[in-house]
Amino acid sequence: MFISILHSRDRQMTNGGRAGPEPPDNQGNRNVENAVMLGFFVVLVAAGIWLLGTMADVRKVQDCAAQGRRNCATIEVPDRAR
């Protein structure tokens, strides 16, 4: 069994040379799909940036520990109130 995907340029060849009516373009649905894909891409990029930052912090701590140092963890210093 052979399955083929017909493209718009192939329709004339499969209909015996007759050009059939084009299916209507559903522009509203396409815009929603594009917005969803854009949102997914933004989330994916943000997650990648966060992951790279986390990996850099872990690498710094591991480099410090590999050198035999102690107290390699970062120390949070509270702001002074004046």
pLDDT in tens, 7-18: 555 555 555 556
DSSP string, 24-74: PP-HHHHHHHHHHHHHHHHHHHHHHHHHHHHHHHHHHHHHHHHTT-S--S-
The proportion of the chain whose per-residue pLDDT surpasses 70, expressed as a percent, equals: 65
**pTM for the full predicted model:** 0.54
Question: What pLDDT sits at residue 77?
Answer: 86
Rg of the chain over Cα atoms, rounded to whole angstroms, equals 28
